[in-house]
Amino acid sequence: MIAKRIIPCLDVKDGATVKGVNFVNLRDAGDPVALGARYSADGADELVYLDITASHEGRKTFTGMVKRVAATLNIPFTVGGGINELADVERMLAAGADKVSVNSAALRNPQLIEDIAKHFGAQVCVVAIDAHYEQGDWMCYLNGGRLPAGKRLFEWAAEAEARGAGEILFTSMNHDGMKTGYANSALAALAGALHIPVIASGGAGEKAHFRDAFLVGKADAALAAGVFHFGEIGVAELKQYLLDEGINVRTKM
């Protein structure tokens, strides 16, 4: 049985880690390089870094940070934000990242998924989907949850897989920062429909929420931010809890 993964996520703005609720009301959560090193030492399986203000200047700041992160980590990490073309992917991989996450750019230009998979391999391409449950359906959003994309979650996820995505990172905008648990019904539906790993995101508030994402939501990995950044849950204690609950996770030797 493949081990379930625990993935801390660091949203980076102007070189600092930030965290909000429902994609707004951001507050400082610390230095992204130091946080990443701490999570690696604590037994995190992977990390995700997202440049949430990917202007030209932000990109230069972010690229420098990626290089510093790569120098301190011994676990894989994914970077996203402002990945619009193959040159962006190449820059992030050259800086030391293992994977890239694409969201808005892929919705606007689905061919980008195929191009990344063709040039760098499907394992490099994580398609992130921010979706909001409204009027009985999950709808995708662009630009950090600001603009409706006019696509349904399940249809877009299936298209992304068909185009070569290696993983789907699904964030429920309804659950983001609420600490009430993941969108497990939607996760289970995605897991049942796709043949690639699904990463749960949005809603972690306690250790049981991770358990439920794996057992009920059938997720392959669970991503969280605030509960890790502000010391509410430790990665090592979470993994021990999951082991006690019968869930296969990797532990540090």
Pairing, β 167-172 against β 125-134: parallel
Q: Which two tokens stand for residue 227?
A: 């509960």
**Virtual torsion, Cα 188, 190, 195, 196, nearest 10 deg:** -100
Partners of 78 in the β-ladder: 48, 99
Residue in 11, 51, 88, 220 annotated catalytic? 11
The residue assigned the tokens 């991503």 is: 223
Catalytic annotation on 28? Answer: no
Residue in 51, 88, 130, 212 annotated catalytic? 130
Catalytic annotation on 88? Answer: no
Other beta carbons less than 10 A from residue 140's beta carbon: 23
SS3 152: strand
User: Taking a C-beta distance cutoff of 8 angstroms, is the pair 85, 74 a contact?
Assistant: no
Tell me how far apart the alpha carbons of residues 116 and 159 are, in angstroms, rounded to a whole number. 15
CA atoms within 13 A on the CB side of 26: 14
Q: Which residues are catalytic?
A: 11, 130
